Amino acid sequence: MIPPVEDPRWIKILKGEINHNFKAIAAGLMISRLSRSLKSDSSSKALKSYSAEMRSFFLKYEKVFNEDIKTLFGGD
């Protein structure tokens, strides 16, 4: 259900191109922090790092963020 780190939607979320009001406050805070970091360093290496961090976070707490994940990435 959670796409691979290479999925372009991760970067779109970070850049605000996909806008979502997270039901889980922790997810919104993490995205906000990474989006601010992106403004300081938007190199491709940093983008990969931010995407990987975001994906790992969602994987770790998949049950907590289930509704947000389904909305952002679809689901079964």
pLDDT, tens digit (0-9, with 9 covering 90-100), for 18-54: 989 998 899 999 999 999 999 999 999 999 999 999 9
Model confidence band, residue 76 (pLDDT cutoffs 50, 70, 90) = very low
N residues, the chain: 76
% of the chain at pLDDT higher than 90? 79
Give the separation between CA 26 and CA 29, rounded to whole angstroms: 5
Model confidence at 75: pLDDT above 70 = no
pLDDT at residue 1, as a whole number = 82
For the chain, give the mean pLDDT.
92
50, 34 Cβ separation under 8 angstroms: yes
